[in-house]
Amino acid sequence: MQINQYPAITSISDGDLFMIQSASDGAYKSISASDLQAYFGGNSSTGGTGGTGSSDSDNLFSSVVLLLSNNNTVLLDKSSLANSISNSGVLLNSTSKFGANSAYFSGGSNIVTIPSRVEFILGNSDFTIEAWVFPTTLDSNFRHIISKAGDLSNNSNRSYSLSISTNNIGWYYTTNGISDVTINFPCTLTANDWHHIAISRSNGILCGFLDGILLASVAHTDTYFNSSAGITIGSFGGYAAQGYPQLSFIGNIEKDGLRITKNCRYAASFALPTKAFPTI
């Protein structure tokens, strides 16, 4: 497909039409701005967002294995897997990035857990883990947003975790269940403000993002340990409630604002989503 180059366009609406010339037969056809965005959104080499920017649908939705949501009363998963969710004291409140609501995590034992399943195994494959977060506590500790890890009763049952501190996004992993490795993506986060956090891997390259900006990319082909632990949201497994409260994420996660995708969505800086993550 060939797109002819014209003077820069400063404003685009979803209903705008573009003329595209086929590279194979030279024929022209029209395409809407929203369809054009969806096309490039599904191609990580362009830095696209996999159909999440301003679209009501997600062309990578079949690769989504967790999408934290709620029905305004109860937390639930809106991925096609419809994972069972156990809520330990996490409350919904009106703090919101996009006008709905969010889940407030107050630390310690206030977490959300999801039973283990094969779809949560990342191995050495491509993936994206991302969240819209509103941290109310930030310090030098790595506070874990989402993890696949057990607890002190089985200290060698870990796999991976996404965390934040005042000056870092942290990607923790282990290849054997206990030997810790953390890849730091230095940045500046502010408390009581919304941030989009993302970690993405594609073809052996791991990227960290803050608010749509690529912080760094590193060669990363390690295979993560196949832990039997489920997913914990709001802590590094059960450790925060077992004497390690500094591992707690304290703050809000937006409704439809935390997602695991078994595909790479981001390989370069991207325009921030203007809506919560699509649920179809």
CATH of the domain at 158: 2.60.120.200
Phi, psi of 35 (to 5 degrees): -70, -35
| Cα atoms in the Cβ-side hemisphere of radius 13 Å centred on 166 | 5
Residue 38 has pLDDT above 80, yes or no: no
pLDDT, one tens digit per residue, over 87-113 is 999 999 999 999 999 999 999 999 999
For residue 20, the enclosing domain spans: 1-41
- Same domain for 26 and 147? no
Q: State whether 233 and 121 are in the same domain.
A: yes
Identify the pLDDT of residue 53. Answer: 58
Task: Tell whether 162 and 222 lie within a shared domain.
Answer: yes
126 and 10 in one domain? no
Kindly state whether residues 69 and 178 are assigned to the same domain: yes
Instruction: Indicate if 122 and 10 belong to the same structural domain.
Output: no
Same domain, 105 and 193: yes
- β-strand pairing of 195-202 with 86-88: unpaired
Q: What φ, ψ does residue 207 adopt, rounded to 5°?
A: -120, 145
Residue 35, domain member (yes or no): yes
Question: Do residues 60 and 263 make contact, with C-beta atoms less than 8 angstroms apart?
Answer: yes
State whether 126 and 227 are in the same domain.
Answer: yes
53 found inside a domain:
no
Print burial letters for 140-179: b (CB count within 10 Å at least 16), e (below 16). ebbbbbbbbbbbeebeebbbbbbbbbbebbbbbbbeebee
pTM of the model: 0.83
Q: Please report, as a single letter, which amino acid is at residue 77.
A: D
Domain count for the chain: 2
Look at the alpha carbons of 5, 6, 10, 15 in this order and tell me if their dihedral is positive or negative.
negative
Q: Quick one: average pLDDT of 49-73?
A: 85
> Are 147 and 242 part of one and the same domain?
yes
Q: Residue 56 has what pLDDT? A: 86
Angle at the Cα of 229 from the Cα atoms of 228 and 231, rounded to 5 degrees? 135
**Dihedrals phi, psi of 62, to nearest 5 degrees:** -65, -15
Tell me which residue has tokens 């305004």: 72
Q: Write the pLDDT tens digit of every residue in 185-207.
A: 999 999 999 999 999 999 999 99
Does some domain include residue 52?
Answer: no
Whether 162 and 147 have beta carbons less than 8 Å apart is answered as yes
pLDDT at residue 128, rounded to an integer: 98
Residues 10 and 143 in one domain: no
How far is 257 from 275, CA to CA, in rounded Å?
9
- Give backbone dihedrals phi and psi of 245, rounded to 5 degrees, phi first: -65, -20
Q: Where are the alpha helices (DSSP H) in the chain?
A: 33-41
Asked if residue 33 and residue 125 are part of one domain, the reply reads no
Residue 86: strand pairing partners: 113
Phi first, then psi: what are they for 120, rounded to 5°? -85, -5
Question: How far is 35 from 15, CA to CA, in rounded Å?
Answer: 9
Q: What is the pLDDT of residue 85?
A: 98
Distance CA 249, CA 44 (A): 29
